[in-house]
Amino acid sequence: MIELKNVSKFFGENHAVKNVSFKLETGMIGCIIGTSGCGKTTTLKMINRLIEPSSGEVLVDGMAARDEDPINWRRKIGYVIQKAGLLPHLTIKENISILAKIKNRKPEYIDERVQELMKVVDLPFEEISNRYPKELSGGQQQRVGIARALMENPPVMLMDEPFGALDPITRNSMHDEFYNLNQKLGKTILIVTHDMNEAFKLADKVILMNHGEIVQMGTQKDFTEKPANEFVRSFLAEHLNA
């Protein structure tokens, strides 16, 4: 379960996130959507404490973020960084297993788990596990980022535009894979996206933001049948394609 209570963030004068509150129950998929600069990444980063809120409270599974050590806190939260964020001097295998290394997992375990995860994200282990990130396409790098976040099987996953660089076919198979992971393992998954179709397809709860605020939150049905205001109406008209 992820819960935000009146969370705000100021960067100097810029009120980037304004009094955001929402709750995502355990095992649910949530999608945060909105135009560039509306505060999506900042909201995500406040959940895993890469950014500290200016005010308000963040809870995961009933525990308050501010009561815990940030390093420990991040261990239970898988984070997929916008633009993959792989370490350039490490191979694909080393990138995926970085957290397992820190935890001193056995090499055999790491090998097996990396192979398993590369299958999940549809990457050929033999061919690319010893390459470096720059030797991969953008979409492949993005999938490595997803595998890395899954390595230690965290109960909560935060994903910042994880499918953005993928072609439509790969994106669809990743959607299915995530839907299955969520159904099978009961993970709580919060995804940032620009894509309203993706949000409606994947999410139990869609959170639409504008200028740092939540404009509307709910299911596809809530949005299409009861758009909260003109902004929601025009956002849907612009971003929803057949």
Ligand X SMILES: Nc1ncnc2c1ncn2[C@@H]1O[C@H](COP(=O)(O)OP(=O)(O)OP(=O)(O)O)[C@@H](O)[C@H]1O
* Residues of this chain, 56-115, that bind ligand X according to CB under 6 A: 82
Cα 148 from Cα 129, distance rounded (Å): 12
Cα 168 from Cα 147, distance rounded (Å): 19
Q: Which does 37 bind (CB under 5 to 8 A by kind): Mg ion, ligand X, none?
A: ligand X
- Give the contact letters, 101-120, x = binds to Mg ion (CB under 5 A), - = no: --------------------
DSSP-derived letter for residue 214 is E
* Residues of this chain, 173-192, that bind ligand X according to CB under 6 A: none
At which residue do the structure tokens 């056995």 appear?
106
Q: Does 39 bind ligand X (CB under 6 A)?
A: yes
The CA R_g of the chain, rounded to the nearest whole Å, is 18
Out of 4, 29, 41, 235, point to the residue binding Mg ion (CB under 5 A). Answer: 41
Q: Which residue is nearest to Mg ion (CB)?
A: 41
Stretch that binds Mg ion, among 10-18, 34-42, 118-126, 131-139 (CB under 5 A): 34-42
Pairing of strands 55-60, 205-210: unpaired
Q: Does 162 bind ligand X (CB under 6 A)?
A: no
Cα 13 from Cα 54, distance rounded (Å): 12
Residues that bind Mg ion (CB under 5 A): 41
